[in-house]
C-alpha cells in the first residue's frame, strides 16, 4: 500500500467514525457537524482516489467550521452536553487525534510531492483537516469550561466565553 492508498483509507475511516458519532449524538446541532465532517472526509477520499487513478477532481470549500461555529455560539449546546462530559470529551479527543494524524500525513506527502498540483492538493487537505481539528478543539474547550463552571461555580471570576 502506497501513501496515497493509505491516505484514502484514513479518510474513509474518518468518514465512518463521524457517521457513527452522528448516529450516537442526541444533539441535532452536533449531529449536523458530524455529518458535515463525514461528507468532507468522503470528499477528501474521492479527491485522493481521483489523483491515484489520474482522473480529474473537484475541490470544494469546507463548511464544517461554519456549522461548528453556529453550534459553539448556541447556548443550548452547553445545556445539552454537560451531563455526559467524560464520554463526549473522549470522543472529541479521539477525533482530534485522528485529525492530527491526517494533518501530519498530508504534510509529509506534500513535502515528498514533486508536482506543484499535487502539492496544492495536499495543502488544501492540510487546511481542511486543520479546520476539522479546530472544530474539535473548540468543542473540547466548551466542555471543559462547562465542567469547570459546574465544579467550581462558587469560586472567583471566570474567563468570558
113-155 pLDDT, tens digit each: 898 888 988 999 999 999 999 989 988 888 887 655 555 555 5
Domain boundaries, the chain: 3-148
The pLDDT-based confidence of 78 (bands split at 50, 70, 90) is very low
Contacts 24+ apart (CB under 8 A), 70-73: 70/29, 71/29, 71/30, 71/32, 71/33, 71/139, 72/138, 72/139, 72/142
Give the pLDDT of residue 38.
94
pLDDT band per the 50, 70, 90 thresholds, residue 83: very low
- Give the pLDDT band (50/70/90) at residue 19: very high
pTM of the entire predicted model: 0.71
Q: What's residue 76's pLDDT? A: 44
96 pLDDT more than 60: yes
Q: Per CATH, is 3-148 categorized as 1.20.1260.10?
A: yes
pLDDT number for residue 69: 53
Residue corresponding to grid cell 485529525 = 99
Amino acid at each position: 500500500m502506497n501513501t496515497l492508498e493509505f491516505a484514502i483509507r484514513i479518510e474513509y475511516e474518518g468518514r465512518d467514525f463521524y457517521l457513527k458519532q452522528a448516529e450516537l449524538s442526541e444533539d441535532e446541532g452536533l449531529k449536523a457537524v458530524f455529518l458535515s465532517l463525514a461528507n468532507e472526509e468522503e470528499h477528501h477520499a474521492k479527491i485522493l482516489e481521483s489523483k491515484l487513478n489520474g482522473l480529474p477532481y473537484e475541490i470544494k470549500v469546507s463548511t464544517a467550521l461554519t456549522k461548528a461555529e453556529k453550534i459553539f455560539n448556541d447556548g443550548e449546546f452547553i445545556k445539552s452536553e454537560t451531563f455526559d462530559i467524560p464520554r463526549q470529551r473522549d470522543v472529541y479527543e479521539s477525533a482530534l487525534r485522528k485529525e492530527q494524524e491526517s494533518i501530519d500525513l498530508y504534510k509529509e506527502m506534500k513535502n515528498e510531492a514533486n508536482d506543484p498540483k499535487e502539492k496544492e492538493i495536499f495543502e488544501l487537505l492540510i487546511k481542511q483537516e486543520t479546520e476539522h481539528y479546530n472544530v474539535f478543539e473548540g468543542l473540547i474547550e466548551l466542555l471543559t469550561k462547562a465542567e469547570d463552571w459546574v465544579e467550581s461555580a462558587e469560586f472567583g471570576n471566570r474567563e468570558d466565553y
